[in-house]
Chains A and B, each alone.
Chain A
Amino acid sequence: MMEKMIFGRYVPVDSVVHRMDPRSKLMVIFLFVCIIFLANNWITYALIAIYTLFMLGLSRIPGRFLYTGLKPILWVVLFTLVLQILFTKEGHVVVSIGSVKIYNEGIKQGIFISLRFFFLILMSSLLTLTTTPIEITDGLETLLHPLKKIHFPVHEMALMMSISLRFIPTLMEETDKIMKAQMARGVEFGSGPYKERMKAVIPLLIPLFVSSFKRAEELAIAMEARGYRGGEGRTKYRQLYWRLADSLQLVALFGLTALLFLLRS
């Protein structure tokens, strides 16, 4: 069941998006998260949709994989939609069933908000699907470098991030292993009454905690043994290159921003 998770997963395909500089991708995502709030009518949402689908197409991530990976999220999106529809009380009533009244603004708001949510998830998944964790942290570290001036621990943050990203798969594997070991001892995960299900988590969580602490300690020792002393004067093995595609991508997004400003109501 863990196998289908899409978050933080890198899919090694060769595409323009994969080859882009992580800095430009991070900037684009950051900007995208801001400008998506500019959209407030059908045309602007259509523009956002076109942009997102275009980027997805460029990334050459198999559609079926995206679909299975995002399926669980669709439920959350649907849930927001229903909430919005039920609890917005503006405009005129379209349907009323008993005491529940559904307003036309509610439907519109619901659709807009869940679309916004959906596109946000799609774009941020696109970042992790096309960029290795190490590239993301490298990109962040360089982008945030100016903050060093105000004594913000940029390097340490980046290191923490790359370590936690690096260990997600390990942790998943470990979870799978321990789950199986406990299943072999008669635990049934994900079935039975809720109280039983909650209880079934304990034999999974405790071993996971124990091994995570052990691993953290081992990692710290291994790093010190290899002379790690923090970011001061540390050079980089992987260099980042800003290419034409990166500039074009930013220009395209600026274009989109301008259009959104023009067309929003």
Chain B
Amino acid sequence: MRHSDELPLDPEVLAELEAIDATLAGRIVDPVHSELAELTIMLAADRPPVPDEVARRLDARLASALAPAARRPRPARRRRIVFGSAMGGSLAAAAAAVAAVAVLSSGPAGPAGTTINRPLAANGTTARSLASTPAAHAPATGVTAGPTSAAGSSGARSAAGPAAGPGAEAGAGAGAGASSGSAPPALDLGVAAPTAPAPVPNGRKVIQSAQLQLAAANDRVATVAEEVFTVVGQVNGIVQSSSVTSASANGGYATFALSIPSGNLQQAMTLLSNLRYATVASRTDATQDVNNRYNADVRALQDARALRTALLKQLATAYTEAEIQSLYARIHDAEASISSDEATLHGLEHQIGFSSLSVQINGGPVYEAPPATGSSTGSGGFTLGRAAHDALRVLTVAAGGVLIGLAALAPVALLLALIGWFAYAIRRRRREHALDAA
């Protein structure tokens, strides 16, 4: 059959078909086709007539079956409207649910683990930014204040990536190095988290250091770097080295090696954590107790000075040239020792007095909300910027939900279409089979 679809009809066949049509239309045909015309007339005349009674019954049946439906004003359209209303209501309810989920999940500090940036306010926003993610939190082990270790102790609080919360302190004991805290339960989003723990000022000598990784939009890396310089100036710190790389594509990068007066370290960390165009990707606070080492250095210096004084006294009473020369040599050694001890002690005091702070800014496609106008108190007030941000987030979540729904429905729709096609093919085959078997 398919083959004959593509072939033109034979002229003779075509002529006979036209003769049939002409006969049925009542036209005169070529005498060559008279037999065919007669057969056509016979067949047409043999058409089963519709008895009047049957015709009346058919009219009545269809009138009773269809007229009420026909009298209804556009039933299908009304059904469509009703269906549309139901669909609209369902969609509205779904949209409301999505919006509610999005708003609730974003909250004042954004959802946990999200990479969406939000300008951080100046005050208390360290806690906010930290609280926006599951914060690392472990009980302090007395590292920074614990005087139990003879050789000093060290601790580190680390909160990396999404877990940018107050770090865990760990690593008590001699020689313990900095270690990262384990993932803790999330902080209460509604309560401002405390700032990063600082050593308790109990008179012990402690070296502090910190590392801060910030994430910023690629075109904001230079701006954030400028802000870092400003913060360093505010806390009387020193920029020991810096490197700022701006790039049009992803690749903006900046590093800073800072020396911050230890008393201002927490303030510096707070300010750096709240830069307008950056978010904290990770933060590490480390402490090392050097009290014993400091005391030992002090004692060594005192001993060297005492030795030098004693040697000077001996020199005053020396008579022989050899004795004098020997004392000079020992005094020289003592003074060298004093100088060395003083340098060591001075270096240690500098380490104690000035904390090293490493800041790294990584550029990337980070969303930036419009900067807050006016004072950036920023902990939950309604602003147009925040409303726009929330609205955008709702739309984003809704679009994501729709996409996920479509992705889930696509195979189902394909399957249903296949089933429908198979059902249609089977039904058609059965009908044709019924005709063949009749």
- A interacts with B: no
A residues near B (Cβ < 8 Å) are none
